[in-house]
């Protein structure tokens, strides 16, 4: 789903897959400002699993091994845990802040021509896994997809945890995996993972402010005044970095009586609000909230 579709649908369940400078891309979509040429399709995150799938242990930082010898000094521990089970590799992320080259080196060592990208995302998306773009799996039910020997799929714990949001513990990759190649996509296979953002680091993917895990989790804010919503955010340690006014560009401030149409956390402690003098045509229901 494109950002344009997400903004148009305005459904809380829709999160924005990380893609470039997320906050700038979202702002440009909302305000219809000119945008730079789109990046090649191979650089965009591909969404092949539900956005509610998450990896609970993805943000655990790996330590350092003891020195191997006085001349060698310390070396970083493995960024990934890769083990083989039958015809598949089970891959979990041990260090979500490692350099991409460390992931690539471990995957290449197993003969896997697959990239792994770990990007900063808003809190509700931390640990989410986005498997490679593969139209061969479009419309395939999740249960059937998990049984296919040619697909990369998230691995979840059994039992009740399998239906929860944050139970994915890794991905299963066929040992002889062959990435999809076709007229609509010729780039490399890429697994993408959302991680916690550091202070001042812009999110590359974000979910609505009312999404569970976000600053205004399960609180109705769309349709309220700018003054009301900024006060709600301020009580939670969040300031508004920019206001987006549809068709009129971005503004550092707008009248407090204007109505909020939507909002996202674009970096830790900073939000983007969509505001307009008129109230929104509809207020979407809260999703995944009691």
Highest mean pLDDT (candidates 23-37, 112-126, 215-229):
215-229
How confident is the model over 176-180, as a mean pLDDT? 88
**Are 179 and 68 a contacting pair, CB within 8 Å?**
no
Which residues does 13 contact at the CB level (< 8 Å), separation at least 6? 51, 52, 287, 288
pLDDT of residue 182: 87
47-65: buried (b, 16+ CB within 10 Å) or exposed (e) per residue? Answer: ebbebbbbbbebbeebeee
Question: What's the confidence (pLDDT) of residue 214?
Answer: 96
Residues contacting residue 100 through CB under 8 Å, at least 6 positions apart: 115, 116, 117, 118
β-pair type (114-121, 189-196): parallel
Half-sphere exposure of 203 (CA within 13 A, CB side): 28
**Pick from 200, 203, 272, 275: which is nearest to 242 by CA?**
272
The answer to whether the beta carbons of residues 120 and 204 sit under 8 Å apart is yes
Domain ranges in the chain?
41-196
- For the chain, percent of residues with pLDDT exceeding 70: 69
Please state the rounded mean pLDDT for residues 212-232. Answer: 97
What are the pLDDT digits (tens) for 12-65? 334 555 544 555 566 665 655 444 444 443 333 333 333 323 322 222 222 222
Per-residue pLDDT at 222 exceeds 90: yes
What number is the average pLDDT over the span 206-228? 96
What is the distance between the alpha carbons of residues 22 and 277, in angstroms, rounded to a whole number?
Answer: 26
Q: What is the mean pLDDT of the chain?
A: 76
Query: Taking 60 as the threshold, does the pLDDT of residue 166 lie above it?
Result: no
């Amino acid at each position: 789903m494109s950002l344009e579709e997400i903004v148009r649908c305005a459904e809380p369940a829709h999160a924005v897959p990380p893609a470039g400078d997320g906050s700038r891309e979202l702002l440009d979509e909302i305000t219809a400002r000119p945008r730079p040429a789109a990046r090649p399709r191979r650089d965009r995150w591909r969404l092949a699993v539900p956005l509610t799938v998450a990896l609970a242990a993805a943000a655990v930082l790996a330590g350092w091994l003891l020195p191997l010898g006085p001349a060698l000094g310390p070396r970083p521990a493995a960024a990934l845990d890769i083990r083989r089970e039958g015809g598949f590799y089970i891959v979990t992320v041990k260090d979500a802040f490692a350099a991409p080259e460390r992931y690539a080196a471990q995957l290449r060592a197993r003969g896997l021509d697959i990239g792994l990208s770990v990007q900063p995302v808003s809190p509700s998306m931390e640990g989410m896994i986005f498997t490679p773009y593969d139209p061969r799996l479009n419309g395939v039910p999740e249960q059937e997809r998990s049984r296919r020997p040619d697909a990369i799929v998230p691995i979840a714990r059994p039992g009740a945890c399998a239906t929860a949001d944050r139970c994915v513990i890794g991905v299963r990759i066929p040992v002889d995996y062959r990435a999809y190649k076709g007229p609509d996509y010729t780039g490399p296979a890429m697994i993408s993972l959302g991680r916690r953002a550091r202070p001042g680091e812009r999110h590359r993917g974000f979910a609505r402010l009312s999404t569970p895990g976000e600053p205004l989790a399960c609180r109705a804010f769309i349709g309220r005044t700018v003054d009301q919503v900024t006060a709600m955010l301020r009580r939670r340690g969040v300031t508004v970095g920019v206001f987006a006014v549809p068709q009129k560009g971005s503004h550092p401030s707008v009248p407090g009586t204007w109505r909020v149409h939507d909002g996202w956390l674009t970096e830790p402690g900073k939000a983007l609000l969509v505001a307009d003098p008129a109230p929104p045509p509809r207020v979407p229901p809260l999703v995944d909230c009691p």
